[in-house]
Amino acid sequence: MSIFVDDDTRVVVQGITGGEGKFHTEQMLEYGTNVVAGAVPGKGGREVAGVPVYDTVTEAAREEDADASVVFVPPAFAGDAVFEALDAPLDLAVAITEGIPTRDMAKVNKRLSEVDTRLLGPNCPGIITPGEAKLGILPGDVFESGDVGLVSRSGTLTYQVVSNLTERGIGQTTAIGIGGDPIIGTSFVDALSAFEADPDTDAVVMCGEIGGEDEEQAAEFIAENMDTPVAGFIAGRTAPPGKRMGHAGAIVSGSGTGTAESKIGALDDAGVPVGDTPDEVADRVEEFL
């Protein structure tokens, strides 16, 4: 089984005529994802990689029975593109775009509370259910179908941890990049809740980083609500306070929360073993299975 996407997911690529959109559309098609349409204002009637392009997401969803989108739209216009996916409406929108203005995401976040669409990202690598569908920029060759779920704020860290798991013959049900911006659609808790409800996910890996309190909140959720074992990793242990490291949300304010130490402590209190390295995360998962 899987969460959020599978081989029945029908995908619209927003921004399909741009360089990134076209390249990753071809990669998603090669993987076997059902990319059924593109959506670019003013570009309706074209084809990209054999995929029909429509002027709007609503039109693409209606004509091609699409239920998900991937957003490869420049930052200044990406907020509006997400709104378009929410208004279509689709079941899932995956915002790959980095650098969407926070004020735009604040408006999107308010709209999310009024609709049933799930948003992943922004500033995320996407989502993959190995052997079925990938939406985004994830390198499909490092993933393998199996029984371990993964959720991460970092794309690169996702690839490293998954590679370590796959090398040991430990496959994945679904891997999710939730994004590293201050305002995102799907949280650790949202993903963990879905994995807990999935009968085919026997263990979960949660990869966090400094900044914010999402990992502490996730630790509390794990302690109170999860029977599925969880292993963790926290990046940024040596980052200096007050300096943003990589992601826009990866900054420690000095308030006592958001540090690597506070996150690791919270996970430890919740009974979640935290690896010092990505390879040690695989060690912890092996102990669960």
Q: Which residues are catalytic?
A: 247
Residue 209 has, within 13 A of its CA and on its CB side, a CA count of 25
214-to-165, 238, 259 alpha-carbon distances in Å: 24, 19, 11
Evaluate the omega torsion of the peptide bond into residue 89 and state whether it is cis, within 30 degrees of 0: yes
Other CB atoms within 10 Å distance of the CB of residue 46: 14
Report the DSSP beta bridge partners of residue 13. 38, 70
Please say whether the beta carbons of 158 and 211 come within 8 A: no
What token pair was written down for 52?
């029909």
Q: Give the whole-angstrom CA distance, residue 95 versus residue 251.
A: 22
Phi, psi of 150 (to 5 degrees): -140, 135
Q: Give the whole-angstrom CA distance, residue 138 versus residue 107.
A: 27
Please say whether the beta carbons of 160 and 198 come within 8 A: no
Residues constituting the chain: 289
271-to-46, 157, 237, 284 alpha-carbon distances in Å: 53, 22, 20, 12
Q: Give the whole-angstrom CA distance, residue 145 versus residue 162.
A: 11
